[in-house]
Amino acid sequence: MTMTRAKTDPSPAAAPVPAVTTPAVTVPGATLAGATLADHQARILRALVFIDDHRGEELTLEQLARVACFSPYHFHRVFAAHVGESVGAYVRRVRLDAAATSLSFEDTPITRIAMDAGYDTPGAFTRAFSQKFNLSPSAFRKRMRARHRTSPMSLKTPNLENIMQPELRTVPDRPVVFVRRTGDYNQSSGAAWSAICGWAFPRGLVGPDSRFIGVSHDDPRITTSEQLRYDACITVDRPVTPEGEVGFRVLAGGRTAVFLHQGPYAELHRTYEAIYGAWLPASGEELADAPCYEIYLNTPDNTAPADLRTEICIPLK
């Protein structure tokens, strides 16, 4: 389950949960009135989504400040207060983590991965990557491939033969409202669903055609647990004005491999391991520059764990 666009092999995320009131996010070192805090949250979230969608491009402080409607001076400080990292550190980290995931699962040339990560030269990419991971990109790729070959997880996956027969679809763009939470997926996903359900249901935005979609942007084997990003999304049939921590965006459609996982959410990681460790290398497919995501077809509120049905969607080129 997964700035733009990490190709992830995430841990299981929680399905939609009943609406629960959650406390407002506090900003370290700041005492802001509620309206000001909500406005800052909305503007910073807009900048984060812009980074997601343009991660491989040149990004400047001035450009991101304009997106968030701040002066560069104030944007730098407000961003750090909300995100816990400077703008430069955040962009650099999500780029390198996404590159590490690409190296883990793809045969894409390192030069191209460097360009996709926003680096002008392979040498600059190699220096930055080696500083973060203490391995060169090529050595990192060899180590991760060796782990995949020796991993027993896919062999333990129930109904492996059925899982490994995905449906290839061309999916439409999906407008969604969403809440992002950061941290261990097992905790952040539930908090995100509580927040978005508590906001969307009272506003009449949830109907019989709504879809509940979880987007995990990062691979927990690469990104530290406290920095994992999870978006709880509900599809909507019209544009919605963002409000505080609730954002609006369009999830890009396109060619997608859709796998059906039936069973407890606690076993989702086994299906992901089988997809990335067994299906992807043999498929000849190439991952798109977009995160994988999950569509929850039913809910644990009224469904036994063994009967939960989750579509795992892997965007492809």
Mean of pLDDT values over 175-179: 98
| The amino acid at 112 | R
Separation between Cα atoms, residue 82 and residue 79, nearest integer Å: 5
Mean of pLDDT values over 117-140: 95
35-77 per-position pLDDT tens digit: 688 999 999 999 999 999 998 889 999 999 999 999 999 999 9
Q: Does residue 5 surpass a pLDDT of 90?
A: no
Mean of pLDDT values over 163-181: 93
282-316 per-position pLDDT tens digit: 888 988 888 999 999 998 889 999 999 999 999 99
190-247 per-position pLDDT tens digit: 999 999 999 999 999 999 999 999 999 999 999 999 999 999 999 999 999 999 999 9
- What domains sit in the chain, N to C, each tagged with a CATH number? 34-150 (1.10.10.60), 163-315 (3.20.80.10)
3-class DSSP assignment, residue 203: coil
Mean of pLDDT values over 146-170: 68
What Å distances lie between residue 192 and 100, 154, 303, 305, CA to CA? 26, 29, 21, 21
pLDDT for residue 145: 83
Sign of CA dihedral 197, 5, 267, 166: positive
pLDDT for residue 243: 92
Percent of the chain exceeding pLDDT 70 equals 84
Q: At what angle do helices 34-53 and 87-105 cross, to 10 degrees?
A: 40
Instruction: Say what the pTM is.
Output: 0.84
Confidence of residue 185 (pLDDT cuts 50, 70, 90): very high
Burial of 28 (0-12, 13-18, 19+ CB in 10 A): exposed
Name the more confident of 17 and 92: 92
Separation between Cα atoms, residue 8 and residue 315, nearest integer Å: 11
pLDDT for residue 106: 85
Question: Considering all CA atoms of the chain, what is the largest pairwise distance in Å, rounded to the nearest integer?
Answer: 55
Q: Are strands 293-296 and 246-251 parallel, antiparallel or unpaired?
A: unpaired
Q: Going along the chain, which residue ranges are E strands?
A: 167-171, 174-182, 212-216, 229-235, 246-251, 254-262, 293-296, 309-315
Are 241 and 228 contacting, i.e. CB atoms less than 8 angstroms apart? no
